[in-house]
Amino acid sequence: MTTAERQRNAQELIRPQLPAELTNRGKCPFDPATGLTELSEHGRIHRIEHNGDTVWLVTGHDEARAVLAAPQMSSDRINSPRARALISPELHAEMFPPERQAGSFIFMDAPEHTRYRRLLTGQFTVRRMRDLTPRVHEIVTSQLDAMIEKGPPADLVHDFALPVPSLVICELLGVDYGDRDEFQRRTSKLLSLNTTVDEQIKNTTELRKFMHGLVRAKRQNPGDDLLSGLVRDTDLNDNELTGIANLLLIAGHETTANMLALGTFALLEHPDQFARLRDNPELTENAVEELLRYLSIISSGVSRHATEDVVIGGATIRAGETVVVSVPAVNRDDTQYDDPHALLVDRPRGHHVAFGHGIHQCLGQQLARVEMAVGFTELLRRLPALKLAVPADEVPLRTDMSIYGVHRLPVTW
């Protein structure tokens, strides 16, 4: 296998490739690809042939929930028939050694997934996350104080959107915030669509090494953080704890950071909605749900493969076939939402799939909601005249990343 084939096949495994017209965003940075919107008008589940491969693409809301809830749909893309077909046993062993798979429960099915999920569920209850609200408020206020004191213009990503969730997840896990450059840099590499296989392996190894050292430190000197609690109260081994901590650390800052930045960008580009939310902070919880629905930053979709033949939305998906739930399309389903392409901060809360659905629904969704609610409320309260410092078309978009958003958001006030 050539280097190019090795790279292409590994990338295909990580995120099944779709035609460019179904993935490349158009003129509006907040809308799904034009081709994806047009495809959605002709059905709700689609058989896509691309580069000699077949993928089922789901664009309907009910069909997406059915896929994500079906026990015949596996999340284990690492050991799927597709993985075995795409990459050699040698490359598979290099990319996914057993110690690296340990604890990575988002790529597991029941009962393995259930065991890990049960251990963590008690740490992420709605009540506990709401109890964190005062501390989140302190962190948000501190970041805004520093940004305002420095004066405009500012990069909202660097000065606010990234540090807020990073500080929160560091405190929750017991990670030294001084180490943030280490994990943020490696996380960015892991989420880049342009990172080579060898770079992926290197960054994964280094990030695990960093977290493994933290796990050992918690065993010797536990604190009152979540990771110490798992060390103290479970029989998880160091590899499992390292895998879990890595997942929580990466998911705990990347997704929320991009929602805060892209959400602010969307509000600034919809000044009527910005003003309505600024003047009516009681709408914040609705606005958070609407921004999650409207933006859908998991733009590449959620992948599953069938372990046996299953019928979804009238389509028979055969065992071994790959299904991609297109989150941006599903969250704009016009049978589920009135005027789905409009951003309406007072829209009644609906059943979007921004956090997924079924047993793999995002574990930290309540924490993300708290961070966004406090973040948007205080940002608009403290900076009611916030505006872009550059033309909108000069804001650099994260089209090169698996988590969509903006690389920078220059603002002034």
Question: Tokens 């796990």 appear where?
Answer: 215
- pLDDT tens digit sequence for 237-276: 999 999 999 999 888 889 999 999 999 999 999 999 999 9
Instruction: Return the pLDDT at 83.
Output: 74
Quick check: 102 and 237 in contact, CB under 8 A? yes
Give, for 95, the enclosing helix (H) or strand (E): helix 89-95
Confidence of residue 318 (pLDDT cuts 50, 70, 90): very high
In the prediction, which pLDDT does 257 show? 96
Per-residue model confidence (pLDDT) at position 386: 98
Percent of the chain exceeding pLDDT 90 equals 67
CATH topology of domain 3-412: Cytochrome p450 (1.10.630)
**Residue 168 contacts residue 405 (beta carbons within 8 Å):** no
Instruction: Give the list of residues 6+ apart from residue 88 with CB closer than 8 angstroms, or none.
Output: 1
Task: Give the position of tokens 């990338």.
Answer: 11
| pLDDT(101) > 90 | no
Give CA angle at 107 (105, 112), nearest 5°.
50
State yes or no: pLDDT of 383 exceeds 70. Answer: yes
- C-alpha distance from residue 57 to each of 38, 60, 136, 323 (Å): 13, 9, 38, 6
Q: Give the Cα separation of 126 and 391 in Å (integer).
A: 39
* Mean per-residue pLDDT of the chain: 90
Q: Please enumerate in sequence order all residues whose Cβ is within 8 A of that of 354, keeping only pairs 6 or more positions apart, or say none.
A: 292, 293, 295, 296, 297, 298, 327, 331
Return the residue matching tokens 């029941």: 110
Other CB atoms within 10 A of residue 5 CB? 12
Helix axes 271-279, 238-268, angle to 10 degrees: 110
Per DSSP, the three-state class of 411 is: strand
* Residue-level pLDDT at 179: 82
As a whole number, mean pLDDT of residues 59-86 equals 90
* 3-class DSSP state of 225: coil
pLDDT computed for residue 15 by the predictor: 60
At 7 the pLDDT is 54
**Under 8 Å between Cβ of 211 and 100:** no
Choice between 81 and 383, residue whose per-residue pLDDT is larger = 383
150-185: buried (b, 16+ CB within 10 Å) or exposed (e) per residue? eeeebbbbebbbbbbbbbbbbbbbbbeeeebeebbe
- In this predicted structure, the answer to whether residue 16 has a pLDDT above a threshold of 70 is no
Average pLDDT on 372-382 reads 98
Strands, DSSP E only, in 59-209? 73-74, 154-155
Query: String of b and e for 29-57 (b: at least 16 CB within 10 Å)?
Result: bbbbbebbbebbeeebbbebeeeeeebbb
**What is the widest separation between alpha-carbon atoms in the chain?**
60
pLDDT greater at residue 30 or residue 8: 30
pLDDT at 316 over 80: yes
- Element housing 76 (H / E): none
Write the DSSP assignment of 298-321 as a string of letters.
-TT-EEEEESS-EEETTEEEPTT-
The pLDDT, as a whole number, for residue 78 is: 81
Would you state the pLDDT for residue 275?
98
Q: Which residues of 339-355 are buried (b: 16+ CB within 10 A; e: fewer)?
A: ebeebbbebeeeebbbb
Q: Where are the domains of the chain?
A: 3-412
Say if CB 53 and CB 324 are below 8 A apart: no
| Nearby residues of 28 by Cβ (< 8 Å), 6 or more positions away | none
Binned at pLDDT 50, 70 and 90, residue 92 comes out as: confident
Check residue 1 and give its pLDDT: 56
Q: How confident is the model at residue 309 (pLDDT cuts 50, 70, 90)?
A: very high
In the predicted model, what is the mean pLDDT of residues 89-106? 84
Q: Give me 110's structure tokens.
A: 């029941």
Residue 59 has pLDDT above 70, yes or no: yes
Report pLDDT digits (tens) over 189-237.
888 888 787 888 888 888 899 999 999 999 999 998 999 999 998 999 9
Look up tokens 């809830």; give the residue: 69
**Stretch 80-86: mean pLDDT, rounded?**
76
Q: Give 345's pLDDT tier (boundaries 50, 70, 90).
A: very high
* Strand 322-325 with 53-58, pairing: parallel
Q: Say if residue 405's pLDDT is above 90.
A: yes
Distance (Å, whole) CA 382 – CA 320: 52
**Mean pLDDT, to the nearest integer, of 384-393?**
98
What percentage of the chain has pLDDT greater than the value 70? Answer: 96
pLDDT tens readout for residues 158-189? 999 999 999 999 999 998 888 888 778 888 88
Alpha-carbon gap, residue 102 to 112, rounded angstroms? 10
